[in-house]
Amino acid sequence: MKAAVLRSPSRISNRPLQISDVPQLVPGSGQVLLRVRACGVCRTDLHIVEGELPVRITGLIPGHQIVGEVVARPTAEFPVGSRVGVSWIGGIDGECWYCRRGFENLCDSPTFTGYTVNGGYAEYAVARADFVFPLPAALDDLHAAPLLCAGIIGFRALRVAGVERGERVGLFGFGASAHLAIAVLEAWNCEVYVSTRGDSHRRLAASLGATWVGSENDKPPVALDRAVTFAPSGDVVIAALGSLRKGGVVAINAIHLDRIPQFDYDSLLWGERQMRSVTNMTRDDARDFLRTADEIGLRPKVTAFSLDQANEALVAVKNDAIDGAAVIVP
Ligand SMILES: [Zn+2]
Ligand SMILES: [Zn+2]
């Protein structure tokens, strides 16, 4: 089968992915074999390909937003021909303290699709049968793919922040996750306050229905019930904290923060304000988000690339050169 293979990480301008013929995959016990219909390109893929994340397997096939069709090892829930989604969390051990208590997003030994196991930049992929998700029929392959990481994580961030219908919610940063989360907030009749750098991001936020849009240095004009930060910057976390009412919550949607600057407890955290991080996702988050996306008719903006253009797709993501998400269609 044809796949985009990472022999050794390097800057994307060096085109580190090799489009190669590799042996056809054989699904193991508990796995389904999928024909890949589309695979979304996430910024995390860029971090893996460029070596910002340590190498976990050599000869890696990246890609963790897979829309696939079951072609072998079907299950009762997913017969041959069913269309399913695969996300970043490819499996858990099921045995650690967290798994046994239902906190599977915090598992001590998770599997990451397209990082610790091969992913979807290929004609075929294998996935754990208990970690694939049914996809709504109304969502076509191209538009379903970008929902499978950015969409689910953004949705989880809203949950971690404890957003309720009709509340005032701040989004600090407006990239792939936030532009999907705002659609969910609109459907929940929330007032959305977007603080972000970049004219194009501000225009997009306004066009998607934000009540207020400002730059990263502007403070929302009202006290917020909830806020979600998307930038890897502790300054942004403090700005979000400073915009909350008493009892409000900031959810930090970042794998890495530069640092959190010293801040004034009395004015920023006193009053039972909370700061929480958002880590990975659960299968319930995935299923609930995909159902919500179907109900509200969520359609992300996408640009399609062939498998041969996998490097070019990552270059486009790196340079913010396309409107919306990049999707590889093998
Ligand atoms: Zn576990
Ligand atoms: Zn991702």
Between the CA of 38 and the centroid of ligand 2 the distance, in Å, is 15
Between the CA of 133 and the centroid of ligand 1 the distance, in Å, is 20
* Cβ proximity of 290 and 135 under 8 Å: yes
Between the CA of 280 and the centroid of ligand 1 the distance, in Å, is 13
- pLDDT of 19 reads 98
In a 3-state reduction of DSSP, which class is residue 36? strand
Query: What amino acid is encoded at 172 in this protein?
Result: F
- Tell me whether residue 103 is exposed, middle or buried, using C-beta atoms within 10 angstroms of its C-beta: 0 to 12, 13 to 18, 19 or more: middle
Between the CA of 4 and the centroid of ligand 1 the distance, in Å, is 30
The pocket of ion ligand 1, defined by CB under 5 A, consists of 92-93, 96, 99, 107
Between the CA of 282 and the centroid of ligand 1 the distance, in Å, is 12
Confidence (pTM): 0.93
Pick the ligand that lies closest to the CA of residue 64. Answer: 2
Query: What amino acid is encoded at 286 in this protein?
Result: A
Pick the ligand that lies closest to the CA of residue 100. Answer: 1
Query: DSSP alpha helices (H): ranges in 171-329?
Result: 176-187, 199-207, 234-241, 265-268, 283-295, 310-318
As a whole number of angstroms, the distance between CA 304 and CA 39 comes to: 10
Identify the segments of the chain with pLDDT beneath 50: none
As a whole number of angstroms, the distance between CA 119 and CA 296 comes to: 29
| 75-79: long-range pairs with CB below 8 Å, 24+ | 75/32, 75/129, 77/129, 77/134, 78/32, 78/129, 78/132, 78/134
Between the CA of 113 and the centroid of ligand 1 the distance, in Å, is 16
Q: How far, CA to CA in Å, does 37 sit from each of 70, 75, 84? A: 10, 19, 10
- pLDDT of 321 reads 82
- pLDDT of 254 reads 86
- pLDDT of 217 reads 84
Between the CA of 130 and the centroid of ligand 1 the distance, in Å, is 14
CA angle, 306 then 283 then 320, to 5°: 35
In a 3-state reduction of DSSP, which class is residue 274? strand
- pLDDT of 38 reads 98
- pLDDT of 92 reads 97
Pick the ligand that lies closest to the CA of residue 103. Answer: 1
Between the CA of 42 and the centroid of ligand 2 the distance, in Å, is 5
As a whole number of angstroms, the distance between CA 120 and CA 129 comes to: 15
Helix (H) or strand (E) holding 252: strand 244-252
In sequence order, which residues have a C-beta less than 8 Å from that of residue 317 and are 6 or more positions away? 41, 42, 43, 45, 46, 326
Between the CA of 150 and the centroid of ligand 2 the distance, in Å, is 6
- pLDDT of 12 reads 96
As a whole number of angstroms, the distance between CA 253 and CA 169 comes to: 14
Between the CA of 264 and the centroid of ligand 2 the distance, in Å, is 34
Between the CA of 272 and the centroid of ligand 2 the distance, in Å, is 32
- pLDDT of 198 reads 86
CA angle, 211 then 320 then 62, to 5°: 115
Pick the ligand that lies closest to the CA of residue 43. Answer: 2
Rg of the chain on CA atoms, in Å: 20
- Helices and strands (DSSP H and E) totals, the chain: 10, 17
- pLDDT of 216 reads 85
Between the CA of 246 and the centroid of ligand 2 the distance, in Å, is 33
Between the CA of 88 and the centroid of ligand 2 the distance, in Å, is 6
Pick the ligand that lies closest to the CA of residue 94. Answer: 1
Which residue has tokens 């988050």?
Answer: 285
In sequence order, which residues have a C-beta less than 8 Å from that of residue 94 and are 6 or more positions away? none
Span 155-173, pLDDT tens digits: 999 999 999 999 999 999 9
